[in-house]
Amino acid sequence: MFVYQVDQPQANGRPVTSHTRTGYGGYKQTDNIRSVCVGKNFVVLSRESGALYRYSLPNVSLQSRTPLGYTAEKMLLNCTSTRLAIISTTNTFKLFDIKESGSQVVANFERKDVWDMKWDSDKEDTIAIMEKSRLHVIQGTIAEDPVANHGYICSFKDLIVRTVEMQTLMQDPKDFDMNLVSDIEVKTLRKAKELLDAGKISDATVFIEQNSHPKLWNLLAKVAMMKLDFKTAEHAFVKLKDYGGICFVKKLETIQSDNLRKAEVLTFYGDLDGAQEIYLQADRRDLAIDMRKKMNDWREVLRLLNFRLEKLGSTTASVVTDALTLEALKHAGDWFAERQKWAQAARYYEAGRHYEELVSCYIKLDDFGRMENLANDLPDGHDMLKVSFLFLTDFQ
């Protein structure tokens, strides 16, 4: 790790580097750094004297100096590193368009009594600020109606501002109350949901075009897919640059049955139980089984095959001959074995006659009595006979 001495006289526009914080030649800087923020290829420093310094990365050469006339206490760059938000030591909030040549304040915009802020993680012109005891969401320079809130902003993602009442939380940190966390939807998200809930797909599409955001396009795509409106859904996926979603729409268009289309959509959005119900109502148990196999839900596959482990007697495991059932028993046993639940895993391996895995479970369980029974039940010439008899003779 290198520490760059940005206060040292620069050679060829680049500061001297050092592995320590010690200055050179007794040089002392009295204009201390107050705050720092880092962009994609530059870093911005705020000095106590009231100036911004922009240095390039990774060579850390000075690119510009912008006098502010006040000290920036806190700075944040937006998701594209093109706009800088500043809160001063007097809680004045301003925005700057930041370029390599310098920073230009956004004209006719200023807020007072601001103490916290957070940029939208996806949209470059939207920021949430805390002004006194109210939360404001500002798009460009236009503020939405404020919402009463006393929390600190911890995230601003998918058009939802999450705040936490830290002062109350720190009074008793061990007794955390989820009511201290608030998720506040911005106005555009609320409006889009209202239009979609009312079934106004066309109006919602126009509104989202005017207020483009990945969260809104995802919302439109899901509602359109649920209504089997593939034209609108494909348009939303194009806006999202979601090639997988576009291909899925093309696949749905080749399916003739609306019920099966609906089941595929539910699977796509993770509602496996709803999709399975549609498959069973359409007498397509095979599709329900295929879906559960893809999701690695092998115990549900067994249920769909009408297999009940508890109905098997101690000597009836050999009646299981169906290849799919045997495969499902193997994977169900693996699921328990991966979680070190050896007794449950052994039951599935016993039912499916998966002897190699079964021996491993018996060893983990120190169950040599059942190992003896297994040695007697194994067919002649089986690979596990040698191992089983080895344990049988050693522990008798």
pTM, rounded to two decimals: 0.76
Q: State whether the Cα torsion 351-355-360-365 is positive or negative.
A: positive
pLDDT digits (tens, 9 = 90+) for 117-162: 999 999 999 999 999 999 999 999 999 999 999 899 999 999 999 9
Helix (H, G, I), strand (E, B) or coil at 295: coil
Contacts of residue 201, defined as CB under 8 A and 6 or more positions apart, other chains included, come to 220, 223, 224, 227, 229, 232
66-80, 199-213, 355-369: segment of lowest average pLDDT: 355-369
* CA-based R_g, the chain, Å: 32
The packing angle between helices 342-352 and 355-365, to 10°, is: 150
Would the pLDDT of 74 be above 50? yes
Query: In angstroms, rounded to a whole number, what is the distance separating the alpha carbons of residues 46 and 68?
Result: 9
Sequence-separated contacts (24+) of 168-175 with Cβ below 8 Å: none
Would the pLDDT of 192 be above 70? yes
Residue listed under structure tokens 């201290």: 180
Contacts of residue 301, defined as CB under 8 A and 6 or more positions apart, other chains included, come to 289, 292, 293, 324, 328
Query: In angstroms, rounded to a whole number, what is the distance separating the alpha carbons of residues 263 and 251?
Result: 13
292: DSSP letter = H
Would the pLDDT of 175 be above 60? yes
- The percent of residues above 70 in pLDDT, for the chain, comes to 84
Query: In angstroms, rounded to a whole number, what is the distance separating the alpha carbons of residues 360 and 277?
Result: 37
Distances (CA, A) of 359 to 53, 76, 194, 211, 347: 68, 59, 59, 61, 12
Fold of 1-110: Thrombin, subunit H (2.40.10)
The packing angle between helices 214-226 and 201-210, to 10°, is: 170
DSSP symbols for 86-140: EEETT--EEEEEEETTEEEEPTT--BSSEEEEEE-SS-TTEEEEEETTEEEEEET
Query: In angstroms, rounded to a whole number, what is the distance separating the alpha carbons of residues 40 and 337?
Result: 45
